[in-house]
Structure formats: structure tokens, C-alpha cells
Amino acid sequence: MTLPAAHPLPADALAAFPRSFVWGVATSSYQIEGAAQADGRGESVWDRFCRQPGAIADGSSGDVACDHYQRWPEDLDLVAWLGVDAYRFSMSWPRVQPLGHGAWNDKGLDFYERLVDGLLARGVRPYLTLNHWDLPQALQERGGWAHRDTVHRFVDYASGVAARLGDRLAAITTHNEPWVMAHLGHETGVFAPGVRDRRTAMQVAHHLLLSHGLAVQALRTAAPRSKLGIVLNLSPIMPASASPEDLAAATLEDGRLVRWYMDPLFKGEYPADVLQHLGADAPEVQPGDMAAIAAPTDFLGINYYTRGVVSASGAWDVKSTGNPVTDMGWEVYPQGLTDLLLRVHRDWKVPSLYVMENGAAFPDTVQQGAVHDGERTEYIARHVAAVADAIRLGVPMAGYMVWSLLDNFEWASGYAKRFGIVHVDYPTQRRTPKASAFWYREFLRQQLSPRTAGAPARAQAATA
Ligand code: FCB
């Protein structure tokens, strides 16, 4: 078994992955679809946020993005060409239910129906995320995620989507990264909707978790064939030194980023130390909420990019480690993924884990029709090996997805940061698979060939 010369994986890493392991690529609606005004789509909080001066580094928005709304057949052909098992994508809530309640937009639902059927026709399993941050602006005007009614609007949305598509979705994720929506969206305000208030942020976090639990209950009936879960952005948090102050700061950060989400989902309670720290900013919790949040799920998705190193006195100097740093300024630290997966397995006994996003931004350019993104390829290969290590140490890993299929609108960084394994030239919308895409394809071909040799078409797996 030989991989392309650069970035080989050790043979035992390749052998670690179970036959059922799901390999994929991921995207999200606002970051790629464009067509912001097409076919009756409603406004999302990100449409509104992008118009605030200074909110987005390059002053851009997702109005056009990768024009995926029009170009989806070409994009799904790329997904099929890669040879992945699964494609993780999200639905734009305002595209299918423009006001977030009441009337549905059939043209929007038709788009996702074409997409799902297009995936199945190509032998790729659809992994749908219901909420990858693009809340209908009309709901924001009624208080957004800070308002308890939005919880029920989300459950209705989840049920409506399942009624239309639930028979064909391999997996449904309720939310992508509640910490980001709560903390970056409502505490630091650097993401939509741009609120800066810690008490609001914690109430938002609670409502996101509650709406997840209630939606899971509703989806058990509405989409009985789909696996259900949530996706969290988690990192191992380490203290910058052994000083008591740094240790305390790291414990609190771990509490806010990791335990604040993992404990309610898997133990039905918020961490006591964080509640105490929050004091009057702790969320309002009604009787029954915690049990609802802990509704049993089929999987937990983890998005991993880097570790966190925390000190009491100031910012951690990522560059001082000597490890490479991506274009986002994030330290490349694959060991952190193994450590994180082991810890999640040990502390919360999650039955099935996916890495739902992992990847890196680098400033790629097309040269004579090719993109030589060796650093990205190395990043991915090293993190795949880190997942293999976790498997060998007993962690029940179910899948791994690369972020992202395409270069896209990277939120507050605009189009300047490129995460794709396929390059997008925005003026022409031309797609060029990067060297990392060729590497992943070749890796999958070798990884999957024992599975498929002599077996009927992979399409069968699409509905399994
Ligand atoms: C994650 C997001 C995803 C993308 C990557 C780089 O936090 O889920 O949309 O922006 O980061």
C-alpha cells in the first residue's frame, strides 16, 4: 500500500480504521450557497451582520459566496470524485422557512431535495446540519436565541425538514458549535448577531442546548432512520505554566468551552464551578430543561483545529512553540486531537464520535492550473493519524470529515482565508482541486479498496 510520496501515513494508522468508518468532507450553507435573495429566501442574521461596517475583514458577505446554489451539480461531482462516503452540509433555515415560523418556502426545500437526491445518486451519504449559524433575521428581531420561544421554533423547523427529507438523511446534526453562536455571537460580538453581553450569551447557550434536546426527541419520530447528534467545537485546554493562577484560568476556560456543553448533554447538569463563576449571569433554567438536554443521541461530532493554552495574565504566544501555524494563526497540534478524543471517551463515555470538521487555512495560489498546498495535506494526514491513535487506544470513532470541500466565506475573515481542498477563483467561480484533494482521494482509494473489492456499488451504503 503506497500513498503519494509526500505525507504518507504509517501502515498501522491505516489499519486502525474500522470498515464502517465514514470518511467525508464538510461545508455550510451561508459559507458556500450565495443566492441570498433567490427564490424567496429570507434574510439571515449573517446577511444583516455582514452589512455592519467593520464586521467582516474584507467588507464582504455571503451574497454570492461559491454560488453553490446554482453550481451544486458540479460540486457534488467533486464530492463523488473524491470518493468520500459522506457529505456534511447545512440547511439555511431562512431559505426553507423565511421568517423562521409559519410558511415554508417550497423552492428552498426543493433545492435541498435536489441536493440530497443528487448525493444519493452519486453514492454519497447526506449528513445534514440544521443550524450552522444562519438564523432567520425575523427571529432575531423577536429576541433570537436569547428568547425561549426560538427553542420551539427550532423544533418545528427540525420536524418540518424531517417530514420532507427525513427518509433520505443518513444523519442529522441539530447545531454546529453552540459555543461559537453563544460566545462569539453574543459575548464578544465578533460573529452574528454581534451582541456583547455575557448574561445573554449564557442564556443563548442554554436555549441552543435545550432546542437540541427537544429537537432530538421530535426527530426520533419524524426521522426514525437518521442518526442524530450535535457538533461541538472542543479543544484540549492547557495552562501556560504550572502556576496556580494559570491552572485556575485553564480550568475555567475548559469549563466554559468543553464542560459547559459536555456535562449537560451527557450528564444532565451544568458544571458547578462555571455556574459559580457566572453568578448572576448564569442562565435561567426551567424544570425539565436539563433532562430534555440530555436526550440520548447516536453520535457526538467534534470540530478540532488546534489546542488552547491559557494563562491568567495574557495571550498565549502560539509561535513560541516552534510548531507550524496556519493562516488563521492557529498552532498545528495534532496530538491535541488524540488527547481530546481520549478525554471525551473517558469522562463522558460517548458511544460514537466523529471528527466533523478538521482542516487548515493557507494562502493558496493557482500556478499553471495546480495548487501545491503541501502544508494542508500534511495537516490533514497528521490529524488522520491522530484519529488512528485514538482508535488504537479504544475510542469509538465513527468518522472523519475534512473542512472544507471548497474555499468559502470564512465568516468575519471574509474570503481571505482559504480552507478548501478545492480552490475557488471567486471572479470566475472556477473550481481547482488542490494537491490536498488529490492526496485525500488517493488515501481514500487505498483505505476503502479492501472494503469495496468484490462488493456491490458503494451506493448501497448511501441508504444504510
Ligand atoms: C468552524 C466552523 C466552520 C469554519 C471553520 C474554519 O468553527 O464551524 O464553519 O468556519 O471553523
Pairing between β-strand 22-26 and β-strand 397-403 as defined by DSSP bridges: parallel
What's the mean pLDDT in 79-107?
A: 98
**pLDDT per position as a tens digit, 386-405:** 999 999 999 999 999 999 99
Distance 449 CA to ligand 1 centre (A): 31
**What pLDDT score does 314 carry?**
81
Question: How many angstroms does the Cα of residue 63 sit away from the middle of ligand 1?
Answer: 18
Local confidence band at 12 (pLDDT 50, 70, 90 cut-offs): confident
- 410 Cβ inside 6 Å of ligand 1: yes
**pLDDT digits 0-9 by tens, 435-451:** 999 999 999 998 887 76
Q: Residue 462: pLDDT above 50?
A: no
Tell me the pLDDT band of 201, cut-offs 50, 70 and 90. Answer: very high
Confidence of residue 5 (pLDDT cuts 50, 70, 90): low
Instruction: Write down the residue that cell numbers 495548487 correspond to.
Output: 371
- Going from the Cα of 457 to the center of ligand 1, the distance in angstroms, rounded, reads 32
Q: Does the annotation count 442 as an active-site position? A: no
Pocket test for ligand 1, best of 357, 401, 407, 410 (most atoms within 8 A of CB): 357
The answer, yes or no, to whether any atom of ligand 1 lies below 6 A from the CB of 176, is yes
Residue of 410, 413, 418, 421 to mutate, ligand 1, most atoms within 8 A of C-beta: 410
The active-site residue out of 33, 43, 187, 357 is 357
Query: Cα separation of 162 and 150, whole Å?
Result: 18
Summarised one tens digit per residue, pLDDT across range 113-145 is: 999 999 999 999 999 999 999 999 999 999 999
DSSP 83: T
Ligand 1 atom showing the smallest separation from residue 177 Cα:
8
Say if residues 169 and 113 touch (Cβ distance below 8 Å): no
pLDDT digits (tens, 9 = 90+) for 282-303: 999 999 999 999 999 999 999 9
Query: For 18-61, how does the pLDDT look when each residue is reduced to its tens digit (9 = 90+)?
Result: 999 999 999 999 999 999 999 999 999 999 999 999 999 999 99
CA gap 29, 173 in Å, rounded: 14
Continuous segment of H or E residues that includes residue 300: strand 299-303
Cβ(411) – ligand 1 distance below 6 Å: yes
Nearest CA to ligand 1 atom 9: 28
- pLDDT at residue 312 is higher than 70: yes
* CA nearest neighbour of 131 among 180, 170, 179, 90: 90
User: pTM, whole model, 2 decimals?
Assistant: 0.96
Instruction: Indicate whether 456 pLDDT > 70.
Output: no
Question: From the alpha carbon of 233, which atom of ligand 1 is closest?
Answer: 7
Report the pLDDT value the prediction gives residue 458, as an integer from 0 to 100.
39
Separation of CA 272 and ligand 1 centre (Å): 29
Residue 67 Cα to ligand 1 middle (Å):
19
> For the chain, how big is the Rg over CA atoms in Å?
21
Q: Is the pLDDT of residue 315 over 90?
A: no
How far is Cα 383 from Cα 356, in angstroms, rounded to an integer? 12
The pLDDT, as a whole number, for residue 113 is: 98
Q: What is the arithmetic mean of pLDDT over 424-438?
A: 98
Mean pLDDT of the chain: 95
Whether the predicted pLDDT of 165 surpasses 60: yes
pLDDT band, residue 8 (cuts 50/70/90): confident
Q: What is the pLDDT of residues 318-372, one digit of tens each?
A: 989 999 999 999 999 999 999 999 999 999 999 999 999 999 999 999 999 999 9
- Does residue 464 carry a pLDDT above 60? no
Kindly state the average pLDDT of the residues 189-197. Answer: 98
**What is the share, in percent, of the chain residues with pLDDT greater than 70?**
95
Map the chain to HEC letters. Answer: CCCCCCCCCCHHHHHHCCCCCEEEEECCHHHHCCCCCHHHCCCEHHHHHHCCCCCCCCCCCCCCCCCHHHHHHHHHHHHHHHCCCEEEEECCHHHHCCCCCCCCCHHHHHHHHHHHHHHHHCCCEEEEEEECCCCEHHHHHCCHHHCCHHHHHHHHHHHHHHHHHHHHCCEEEEEECHHHHHHHHHCCCCCCCCCCCHHHHHHHHHHHHHHHHHHHHHHHHHCCCCEEEEEEECCCEEECCCCHHHHHHHHHHHHHHHHHHHHHHHHCCCCHHHHHHHHHHCCCCCCCHHHHHCCCCCEEEEECCCCEEECCCCCCCHHHHCCCECCCCCECCCHHHHHHHHHHHHHHCCCCEEEEECCCCCCCCCECCECCCHHHHHHHHHHHHHHHHHHHCCCCEEEEEEECCECCCCHHHCCCCCCCCEEEECCCCEEEECHHHHHHHHHHHHHHHHHHCCCCCCHHHHCC
Q: From the CA of 445, how far away is ligand 1's center (Å)?
A: 27
Average pLDDT over residues 184-211: 98
- Report the pLDDT value the prediction gives residue 66, as an integer from 0 to 100: 99
pLDDT at 17 (0 to 100): 95
Output the pLDDT for position 1.
36
For ligand 1, mutation pick of 303, 354, 358, 408 (most atoms within 8 Å of CB): 303
Q: Is 403 in the pocket of ligand 1 (CB under 6 A)?
A: yes
Check whether 225 has a pLDDT greater than 80. yes
Per-residue pLDDT band at 460 (split at 50, 70, 90): very low
